[in-house]
Amino acid sequence: MNKMTGYFAAALTVLLAASARADINTGLDIRGRSFSCEKLAGTGKISYWEQRSRFYFEGLLQKNVRANVTLQNNGVWGRDDEEELFLDRAYISAGDLLGLPLEASLGRQGCKLGDGLLINDDKTGLSGMRFNASLPWGFKAEGASFKLIEASSASFAGGDSDRDISFVSLSRNALNGRATLTYFNDYDRTLSSATKLSLMDIRYESGADREVQWVFEYAKSGSSGIDTSAALARATAYGDIYKLGEGNAFILFADGKEYFRTGAAFINEEENFGEYYMKNRENGRENSLDNLRIMGAGFKSSVMNKPMKLLFNYFTYELSAVDAQGMKELGKEMDLGIEYAHTKNLDFRLIYSSFTQGEATSATGGKVKQLLFETNLNF
């Protein structure tokens, strides 16, 4: 029995042992993706099928105590070396602790703050502890401590050592919206000399019931000499779009400085950040915002009130700091797509992306095209 199978078996045993008194739900979701695109460098083509499967148990063990165990498998069909099986979730959460408005969860769990400038690891989960609490005068508090890398005997021979991230945030409704202040800490002891990065993050978002909703988020380190800041602003208008039907339109600006790096931060590749470039970015961490500036706009609208939506996005990407050759422009992207919900359990997406390479990406220019077909099946 390998290590992963052992972890899953142990977590599943604990959950099933309590199932005699628990309300247990099970579920399975399967996503298949077909990619066909040119390489970002402009030489050759890439074509493959990718799959993701998630199987979960979740249940109410007793009053205010819940548990979740999720097993996930990712990979490219037909390539054994690219198959990945891992424990996506294995946590237990309890509410009304000590009779107080306090909830805590322990184990491997997802976590996202704001738009993901500091933490966005909903895909694979983080191991640690998280809490949220209601405070007097309308304030809410949230905090967590996660371990990214655990020390081992190898650390004494110059191998990996500890890496931990933690945060605490305070939020409150204000001015028809919600304001949040977060202190984030990333302590990395995997290098020859330990590094500690601390950031303050402020976020303000308008109420969810408004026709025009907007979000602003800004994160910056307190250290001097190096600019580690990042900012994001987005406005979204909801309503009827010409004769297409009900939908939304957005504009976006995001900017991360050259040294903006945190332990578990990356921007999702879908919709508001582009369907092609953010997934296929060659330099830096995949989907990250360090040394990257994004400006974009787009809309999504239903078709005559049918279970089908049309989408259009346009983005420009630049380096926040010029490269060694003094170049800055990365490229421009256009996305066209159709989303169709056949039932509440089965939906489809067809996306065509065209990426025009900038001077900092390719000396010869040219376009890179991608066709993405995706189907999601939920049980």
| pTM score, whole prediction | 0.84
Helices (H), the chain: 3-17, 277-280
Q: Name the pLDDT band for 323 (thresholds 50, 70, 90).
A: confident
Whether the Cβ atoms of residue 32 and residue 374 lie closer than 8 Å to each other? yes
If one compares 189 and 90, the residue with the highest pLDDT of the two is 90
Domain boundaries, given as residue ranges, for the chain: 1-92, 110-378
Q: Name the pLDDT band for 371 (thresholds 50, 70, 90).
A: very high
Residues 6 or more apart whose Cβ sits within 8 Å of residue 208: none
Is domain 110-378 in CATH 2.40.160.100, yes or no? yes
In a 10 Å sphere around its CB, with 0-12 CB exposed, 13-18 middle and 19+ buried, how is residue 47 labelled?
exposed
In a 10 Å sphere around its CB, with 0-12 CB exposed, 13-18 middle and 19+ buried, how is residue 348 labelled?
middle
Whether the Cβ atoms of residue 334 and residue 327 lie closer than 8 Å to each other? no
Whether residue 162 is predicted with pLDDT greater than 50 in this model: the reply is: yes
Q: What are phi and psi for residue 273, nearest 5 degrees?
A: -125, 10
Going from the C-alpha of 102 to that of each of 172, 190, 254, 347, the distances in angstroms are 16, 34, 34, 37
Residue range 323-350: average pLDDT?
Answer: 92
Q: 125-157 pLDDT, tens per residue?
A: 788 999 999 999 999 999 999 988 766 544 444
Whether the Cβ atoms of residue 138 and residue 118 lie closer than 8 Å to each other? no
Q: 199-214 pLDDT, tens per residue?
A: 999 999 998 888 899 9
Residue type, 298: G
Find which of 50-59, 244-253, 345-354 is predicted with most confidence, using mean pLDDT. 345-354
Res 53: pLDDT = 92
